[in-house]
Amino acid sequence: MNRRVEIHINKDKLESELSELAAFSDAEPPAVTRIVFTATDLKARAWIKTRCEDSGLAVRQDAIGNIFARWTGVEPSAPTVGTGSHIDAIPNAGRYDGVVGVLGGLEAIRALQEAGFRPRHSIELLIFTSEEPTRFGIGCLGSRLLSGTLTAEAARKLTDKDGTTLEEVRRKAGLDGELEQVKLPPGYYKAFVELHIEQGPILEREQVSLGIVERIAAPASLRVTVEGAGGHAGGVLMPDRRDALCAAAELILAIEQAAQRSGAIDTVATVGICDVFPSAVNSIPAKVSLSVDIRDTSLPRRDAVIRALEGACRAASAKRQVEIQCELLNADAPAEAAPAVVAALRQACEMHDFDFMPMTSRAYHDSLFVSRIATMAMLFIPCRQGYSHRPDEYASSTDIARGALVLAEALAMLAE
Ligand code: GLV
Ligand code: MN
Ligand code: MN
């Protein structure tokens, strides 16, 4: 390649595509809600596929709906250089999470095409299915399956809140083929780079333009079900109660304390859902279901919080005479970025005199699972006040374009 040719990111086009994609939403703007395999999500997928085809990329979709848009290299059988992210969005989200990595990745490829670059390795944009856990309770469905982290058999058992299986939902979305076929063959990737908003405040606070992610924290999700005894809020005397919500309240605080006790900034724990049954003002809670999310860059520290939760369940059960079930839904290992991919990103920043810093991702990403089968690193751009998963999530078009430019340079280095 003539690497002296300047790579030009079309900032206006990228910004207008971000707005167009944000319009595929089940929420009032500026909020974006795009749950996997809803009619809205399917329209957004069709839109992005057309965008990729318009750029001359060969588009294929696997049985879980991961979309691969390929720019075939001079050596088509050489391992692929991948980039990408997700376009599904949690309820009441913003427009940048995931989308910046997809549209920024597409623009990076277009910029390389326009600069006359001829990749030796094929470069592929990947739009992963259901990075968000909203519908099936477990995140990164597409990347778990393609990396073999989740088996087809386990995936088939997943259901949404209406009890509809993933199998039914995906077939209804027109995805035929068997989930067994989603796993990529060994050696498929040469390297993978994901561009993403930081989803935290550090870059903005430190006034640094870019973050090069060197490790991704490992999430564990648990469902805790507490069964006590319901009854009349007036009639049942306090000494006779087996209130499931009071027991759950003890657990929620125990989880928070266990994360705080770890003393490490990377240990975080959240109870994000508390479903109370029967949820009536004058009825003692008979049953409570909690969803728990625990993360760390250190597996032993993360698992210590899980054990503390299990201990708190035993203690609350004995103290309050309630039944408690603690079910581990997933417990993933953290990932380290690959030095060679980090080096490509650093070199790309240096080529343009962009300032950058090493970072840890405390959010998880599809790259966590891609790391099981490929060398990977991530590139973060700042987002206003670190806001994410909320409608006022914002990244400036200048920051997005800068990220896309560094991504393009890194892809070129990795693919030549
Ligand atoms: C991904 O969205 C996460 O929850 O980290
Ligand atoms: Mn997200
Ligand atoms: Mn994301």
Probe target for ligand 1 pocket from 128, 364, 367, 369, with the most ligand atoms within 8 Å of CB: 364
pLDDT digits (tens, 9 = 90+) for 73-126: 999 999 999 999 999 999 999 999 999 999 999 999 999 999 999 999 999 999
Q: Which atom of ligand 1 is nearest to the CA of 219?
A: 5
Probe target for ligand 1 pocket from 365, 366, 380, with the most ligand atoms within 8 Å of CB: 365
Distance 255 CA to ligand 1 centre (A): 19
Q: Which atom of ligand 1 is nearest to the CA of 90?
A: 2
Write a three-state SS string for the chain.
Answer: CCCCCCCCCCHHHHHHHHHHHHCCCCCCCCCEEECCCCHHHHHHHHHHHHHHHHCCCEEEECCCCCEEEEECCCCCCCCEEEEEEECCEEEEECCCCCHHHHHHHHHHHHHHHHCCCCCCCCEEEEEECCCCCCCCCCCCHHHHHHHCCCCHHHHHCCECCCCCEHHHHHHHCCCCCCHHHHCCCCCCEEEEEEEEECCCCHHHHHCCCEEEEEEECEEEEEEEEEECECEECCCCCHHHCECHHHHHHHHHHHHHHHHHHHCCCCCEEEEEEEEEECCCCCEECCEEEEEEEEEECCHHHHHHHHHHHHHHHHHHHHHHCCEEEEEEEEECCCEECCHHHHHHHHHHHHHCCCCEEEEEECCCCHHHHHCCCCCEEEEEECCHHHCCCCCCCCCCHHHHHHHHHHHHHHHHHHHC
Which residue, judged by its Cα, is nearest atom 2 of ligand 1?
132
Closest-approaching ligand to the CA atom of 91: 2
- 99-114 and 39-54 helices, crossing angle to 10°: 10
Q: Is the pLDDT of residue 223 over 70?
A: yes
pLDDT digits (tens, 9 = 90+) for 202-217: 999 999 999 999 999 9
Q: Which atom of ligand 1 is nearest to the CA of 97?
A: 2
- pLDDT the model gives residue 3: 55
pLDDT digits (tens, 9 = 90+) for 339-356: 999 999 999 999 999 999
Q: What residues are in contact with ligand 1 under a 6 Å CB criterion?
A: 132, 139, 363-364
Backbone angles phi, psi at 246, to 5 degrees: -65, -40
> pLDDT over 70 for what percent of the chain?
99
Residue 2 pLDDT class (50, 70, 90 cuts): very low
Distance 317 CA to ligand 1 centre (A): 31
pLDDT digits (tens, 9 = 90+) for 25-69: 999 999 999 999 999 999 999 999 999 999 999 999 999 999 999
Q: Which atom of ligand 1 is nearest to the CA of 132?
A: 2
Which residue, judged by its Cα, is nearest atom 5 of ligand 1?
363
Probe target for ligand 1 pocket from 87, 90, 132, with the most ligand atoms within 8 Å of CB: 132
Closest-approaching ligand to the CA atom of 93: 2
pLDDT digits (tens, 9 = 90+) for 289-320: 999 999 999 999 999 999 999 999 999 999 99
Q: Is the pLDDT of residue 4 over 60?
A: no
Distance 389 CA to ligand 1 centre (A): 9
- pLDDT the model gives residue 280: 98
